[in-house]
Structure 1
Amino acid sequence: MRYEAVIGLELHIQLDTNSKLFSSSPNTFGSEPNDNTNELDLAYPGVLPVLNRQAVVYAAMFGQAIDAKVNPHAFFMRKNYFYPDLPKGYQISQLDDAVIQGGTVVLDMGEYQREVRINRGQLEEDAGKSVHDAFSDRTGIDLNRAGVPLIELVSEPDMRSAKEAVAFMRKIHHLVRYLGISDGNMQEGSFRCDANVSIREPGSEAYNARVELKNINSFRFVEQAINIEIERQSDLMDQSQPIDQETRLFDAEKQETRTMRSKEEANDYRYFPDPDLLPLDLDEAFFEEVAEQLPELPHLRRERYRQAHELDEDSLDYILQDRYSADFFDAVVAQCGDGKLVSNWLQGEFARLLNEHQLDIDEAPVSAEALAALLQRIQDGTISGNAAKKLLPQMWESGESADVLIDAQGLKQVNDDQQILSWIDEVIVESPDQVAAYQNGQEKMLGYFVGQVLKRSKGQANPKTVNQLLRDKLKQ
Structure 2
Amino acid sequence: MALDSQNIFLNIGLEIHIQLSTKTKAFSSAPVQYGNQANQNIRIVDVAIPGTLPIVNKEMMKQAIMFGKCVDAQVNQKITFARKHYFYPDLPKGYQITQDENPILVGGSINYELNGKTKQCMLHHAHLEEDAGKSLHGYKKGTSGIDLNRAGQPLLEIVTEPCLESIDDAIAFLKQLHSLVTYLGICDGNMQEGSFRCDVNISVKPSKDAPLGNRVEIKNMNSFKFIQRALQYEIERQVEQINDGQKVHQETRLYNEKKQSTESMRSKENANDYRYFSEPDIPTIWIDEQFIADAISRLPEIPEDRVARYEAAGMQPTDARIIAYQRPMADFADQLIDYGHEIKTIANWILGPISALANKAQIDFASLPISSNDIHDILTKLVNGALSSKMAKEVLEHIWNEQKSVDEIIEKYGLKQLDSEEEIAKIIQDILEKNPNQLAAYRSGKDKLFGYFVGQAMKATQGQANPGKLNKILKEMLSG
Q: Same fold (TM over 0.5)?
A: yes
Q: Which residue of 2 aligns with 1:182?
A: 187
| Pick aligned residue for 1:50 from 55, 75, 85 | 55
Q: Which residue of 1 aligns with 2:323?
A: 319
Within-5 A mapping of 1:274-313 = 274-311=279-316, 313=318
CA contact (8 A) 2:395 2:415 kept: no
- TM normalised by structure 2 equals 0.89
Other structure's SS at 1:151 match: strand
Cα distance in structure 2, aligned partners of 1:291 and 1:328: 23
Number of residue pairs the alignment of both structures matches: 475
Q: Which amino acid is the alignment partner of residue 306 of structure 1? A: E
Other structure's SS at 1:178 match: helix
Worse-superposed segment, 36-45 or 110-119: 110-119
CA contact (8 A) 1:336 1:376 kept: no
Cα distance in structure 2, aligned partners of 1:393 and 1:114: 37
CA contact (8 A) 2:442 2:449 kept: yes
Q: Which residue of 2 aligns with 1:147?
A: 152
Worse-superposed segment, 17-26 or 271-280: 271-280
- Percent identity of paired positions between Structure 1 and Structure 2: 42
Q: Which residue of 1 aligns with 2:429?
A: 425
Q: Structure 1 134/164 Cα, relative in aligned 2: closer, same or farther at 3 Å?
A: same
CA contact (8 A) 2:233 2:261 kept: yes
Displacement of 1:68 in angstroms is 0.9
Q: Which residue of 2 aligns with 1:134?
A: 139
Cα distance in structure 1, aligned partners of 2:222 and 2:193: 9
Q: Which amino acid is the alignment partner of residue 421 of structure 2? A: D
Q: Which residue of 2 aligns with 1:270?
A: 275
Could you list the per-position Cα deviations for residues 362-410 of structure 1 after superposition, in whole angstroms to 9, with x for gaps in the alignment?
A: 1112111221111111111223233323322332344332234445666
Q: Which residue of 2 aligns with 1:170?
A: 175
Other structure's SS at 2:200 match: strand
Worse-superposed segment, 385-394 or 93-102: 385-394
Within-5 A mapping of 1:347-362 = 347-362=351-366
Other structure's SS at 2:286 match: coil
Worse-superposed segment, 257-266 or 441-450: 441-450
- The question of 1:39 aligning with 2:70 is answered no
- The question of 1:403 aligning with 2:407 is answered yes
Cα distance in structure 2, aligned partners of 1:72 and 1:442: 81
| Pick aligned residue for 2:377 from 373, 376, 379 | 373
Displacement of 1:164 in angstroms is 2.6
Q: Which residue of 2 aligns with 1:341?
A: 345
CA contact (8 A) 2:303 2:325 kept: no
- The question of 1:81 aligning with 2:86 is answered yes
Q: Structure 1 38/293 Cα, relative in aligned 2: closer, same or farther at 3 Å?
A: same
Other structure's SS at 2:17 match: strand
Q: Which amino acid is the alignment partner of residue 88 of structure 1? A: K
Gap runs ≥5 in structure 1: none
| Pick aligned residue for 1:469 from 461, 467, 473 | 473
Q: Structure 1 254/390 Cα, relative in aligned 2: closer, same or farther at 3 Å?
A: closer
Q: Structure 1 434/281 Cα, relative in aligned 2: closer, same or farther at 3 Å?
A: farther
Other structure's SS at 1:139 match: strand
CA contact (8 A) 1:366 1:396 kept: yes
Could you list the per-position Cα deviations for residues 143-199 of structure 1 after superposition, in whole angstroms to 9, with x for gaps in the alignment?
A: 111111111111222223333332332222222222222122222211211122233
Q: Structure 1 96/336 Cα, relative in aligned 2: closer, same or farther at 3 Å?
A: same
Q: Which residue of 2 aligns with 1:328?
A: 332
Cα distance in structure 1, aligned partners of 2:176 and 2:96: 28
Gap runs ≥5 in structure 2: none
Q: Which residue of 2 aligns with 1:7?
A: 12
Cα distance in structure 2, aligned partners of 1:389 and 1:325: 19
- TM normalised by structure 1 equals 0.90
| Pick aligned residue for 2:252 from 233, 239, 247 | 247
Cα distance in structure 1, aligned partners of 2:137 and 2:131: 19
Cα distance in structure 2, aligned partners of 1:346 and 1:107: 21
